[in-house]
Every structure is written in C-alpha cells, then in structure tokens.
Amino acid sequence: MMTEHSSRGSDLPPGVIFQNPDHRLPGAGPTDQGLVEAQLRSALAQSEALLRQKDEVIQRQELLKRESDHRFLNDLQMIISLLSLQSRASTNPEAAAQLAVAANRVSMIARIHHRLHSYDGVQAVEFRKFLEDFGRDFSAMLSSDERPERVLVEGIEINLPAAAAIPLGFIVSELIANAAKYGNGRIAIRLQSDPAYGYALSVSNDGPALPEGFDPAASKGLGMKIIQSFARQIDGELKIGRGDDGQGARFTVLFSGMAAAAAPQQPVTAMSASSRSH
C-alpha cells in the first residue's frame, strides 16, 4: 500500500508526493551559450576600441609636445638672431657687448633645454657624464669677464633610468640658477652614495649661508616649488644645509637606490665642467 507523504513543513509544492533526489536544474542551452559569447565579444571589442583611443590621445600629446619644443627652440633662435643683429648694428661698443652677451646666454638656454629633452625615450642615462655636460653649458652661460663662474662636478658614476634622470636634471638646473643668483664664484655639484637613502645629489655655492630655520616648504618662490615637485616625483627628499667649510648653502636631494642601477662606482676627483670639451 502506498503511503502519501504530506508536503506540509517542506519546500515541496502541494500535491507532490515524492521528490527525485537526482533532479538538477537544466544547464545553459546552446542559445544561452551563444548569447554569453556574443556579450564577451562585444565587451572585448569595446575594450580594444578604448585602448586604441587612448593610444591615439597619447600619440597626439607626444606630437603636440614635440611641436611645442620645436617652436620654442625656433623662437629662441629668432631671439638670438635679433640680439646678434642688433649687437652688430650698434654704434655703442658697451651696448654691443651687452647685446652679444645676451645672445650667448639665450643660446645656452636653448642648448640646456635641448639637452634636458634629448633623453626622452632613453632607457638609462650615465648620470655623472650628464651632469658634466650640464655643468659645462651652465658655466658658459653664467660666466662673464667681470664674474667668471665655474661649475665643478665630483662623485661617482651611476646609470639612472631616464624617468629619474630627467627630473633630477630639472632640479639641478633650478639649483644652479639659484646658486648663481645668490652666490658667487664656484658652484659644486656632487653625486655620492648615501647609506640611508641610496644616493645623494647636492649643489652648493660659495655665497652667503641661508638664514637659520629656513624652510623650503614655506618658500613662495616658483623655483623652490619646482624643485620640491620634482623631488616628490622620484620619491626623493630635499635637505638644506651649509657647505663643507660652513659657508654658502648646500641643497641635497636624497633618492632611493632602487631608482638607479649602479655602474662601477670609482671615485673621481673634482673637475671643472667648463674645462672639458664636447
């Protein structure tokens, strides 16, 4: 005799006597699988379209950057030509000499700008050599008969990725300009190992010392803001102190050894960047 089991107290609907324990929900049929595949293909096509758009934007930005640099250098060359022309046309020897000096300085600005951007796309930079070339350009730009400037470079040679070398180049550019503005005579660039961070890059001058308690973070000058911005870009730290003899000012950027693949680090003696030839 068959006994009817009540569905009361269970999840079975009324009137169901037995539940098949092997019952399973039906799987996705061929139609459902095709729909999923179509959705995946559509999502993939959208992602590829977005990537192509991103690549096009990057290429346009690179093109605009190159065009901007090209126009900037052309404008500098025009200024140099006008200053040189005016210098030759001047009947006042003193004015002619000043115009010629101005033309030379604008020419050096163009060379420094070109040097900073000539490493775009380069994987690694021999950084001490970069500093020597950089210092030589600045020595020529800053020197005059009344005030000869020497930019000395000393320290070790390291290979830096361009992503670290270019920001450091901008930092050095600002620090040299600052040292020339407030100091006098010798400007020293030193690149050396640092036990805590990895490496230390410093620029110092023979001018007056900075006031006690000088805080670069509180400085309103654009140059100091640029320096701090580039230091943060490479996860570096800016330190300020005095020169070796207690005189002048020394600005040091500490940056991680993870940013540099060290070349053979033989010490080199201090040398005048202005005394080396290209």
User: Which residue, 101, 118, 135, sits at the end of a domain?
Assistant: 118
Helix, coil or strand: residue 191: strand
Q: Cα(270)–Cα(181) distance, rounded to whole angstroms?
A: 22
Residue 174 belongs to domain spanning? 124-278
| Domain shared by 70 and 151, yes or no | no
| Domain shared by 100 and 147, yes or no | no
| Domain shared by 199 and 260, yes or no | yes
Kindly report the average pLDDT of the chain as a whole number. 75
Calculate mean pLDDT across residues 115-144.
78
| Domain shared by 168 and 213, yes or no | yes
User: Which residue, 86, 118, 150, sits at the end of a domain?
Assistant: 118
Helix, coil or strand: residue 128: helix
Strand 186-194 to 150-155 pairing:
parallel
| Domain shared by 128 and 107, yes or no | no
pLDDT digits 0-9 by tens, 69-124: 788 888 888 998 999 899 888 889 888 888 887 887 788 778 777 776 777 667 78
pLDDT at 256 > cutoff 50: yes
pTM of the predicted model, to two decimals? 0.58
Half-sphere exposure of residue 229, counting CA atoms within 13 Å on the CB side?
A: 9
Q: Cα(17)–Cα(86) distance, rounded to whole angstroms?
A: 110
Domains of the chain: total: 2
pLDDT digits 0-9 by tens, 184-232: 767 889 999 988 888 999 998 877 666 666 666 666 677 788 888 888 8
* Residue 206 host element (H or E): none
Strand order from edge to edge, sheet including 198-205: 237-241, 250-256, 198-205, 186-194, 150-155, 268-272
